[in-house]
Homo-oligomer: A and B are copies of this chain.
Amino acid sequence: MSLAQIRYFVAVAEEGNVGRAAERLHIAQPPVSRQIRALEDEIGTPLFVRTPRGMQLLPSGRAFLDRARQILSAVDEASAAAKSAATGTPSWPTKPIYRRRNQRSER
C-alpha cells in the first residue's frame, strides 16, 4: 500500500468515477484503475462496485475511506509539525559534525 494509492482511492471515492478522478489527479486513467485494483488485491477485499456509470463504494470502501482521509491529513500535519518544531532551530547544527557534501542532482 502506498500513499499514492490512498490518494487515488480518495479521489475515486469522491468522484465516483475513475476518469474524473484521474483528471483531478493530473494523471491518466489507466494508472488510477490499476492502482485501485492493486489496493483491493493487497487488502484482500473489493472496495468498489464497478458499474457502467462509475465506481460505487462498498461498505468496506466506506470504512477504508475514513482511515484514508485520516492518513492523508496526518501526512500533511507531520511535515507541518516538523517544520514548526524547527522554528528557531538552525537549519544546520551550529557545529557541523557530518557536513553535507556536494551532490549533482536532487534525484
Contact = CB atoms under 8 A, between A and B. Distances in A.
Interface of A: 1-3, 6, 38, 41-47, 49-52, 58-64, 66-68, 70-71, 74-75, 77-79, 81-86, 89, 91-93, 97-98, 106-107
Which label, helix, strand, loop or mixed, suits the secondary structure of the A interface?
A: helix
B45 A93 contact: no
Chain copies in the assembly?
2
Contacts of A64: 78-79, 81-82, 85
A59 to B, nearest CB: 5
Contacts of A2: 2-3
Nearest to A38: B107
A85 B107 CA distance: 41
